[in-house]
Structure 1
């Protein structure tokens, strides 16, 4: 039985494209959910499919963010901007 590929060859540009696409999809689904005239029950049993997708996208974006390495100089004062 074949297993999952655990090694990916993605560039920084590829990851940026994926992150941008996820953010756009999240924005589109959010806008559609907010303009939906049907009031949904927000209990865990009755989550609409869009809400579950939004939650999964949000979690994935969080995991991508947590894997980033942000630059911080080793010496001297850090001046953020």
Structure 2
């Protein structure tokens, strides 16, 4: 039985491209366009929008956002 590759060599632009593609597929599914459903793997529950939201959330949570360290940070 084959094993999964646990080492990935992705650049930041690769992650951005994946994120953009997921957003496009999610938009198409939300608008009822059935062409993008054919691109997705078959699952039992067919709740692809929820799975895409979960994956986008995990990608977002792995990002480290810049905050200046030499002066007090004021958001907004």
- The TM-score, its normalising length taken from structure 2, stands at 0.75
Deviating above 2 A after TM superposition, structure 1's stretches of 4 or more consecutive aligned residues are: none
User: What is the deviation of 1:79?
Assistant: 3.7
1:26-41 equivalences under 5 Å are 26-32=26-32
1:1-81 equivalences under 5 Å are 1-32=1-32, 49=46, 52-81=47-76
Considering only aligned residues, what root-mean-square deviation do their CA atoms show, in Å? 1.8
- Report the structure, 1 or 2, having the larger helix content: 1
Secondary structure of residue in 1 paired with 2:8: coil
- The TM-score, its normalising length taken from structure 1, stands at 0.70
Unaligned runs of 5+ in 2: 34-44
Partners of 1:32 and 1:73 lie apart in 2 by: 43
* Higher RCO by CA contacts (8 Å cutoff, separation 6 or greater): 1
Larger Rg: 1 or 2?
Answer: 1
Unaligned runs of 5+ in 1: 34-46
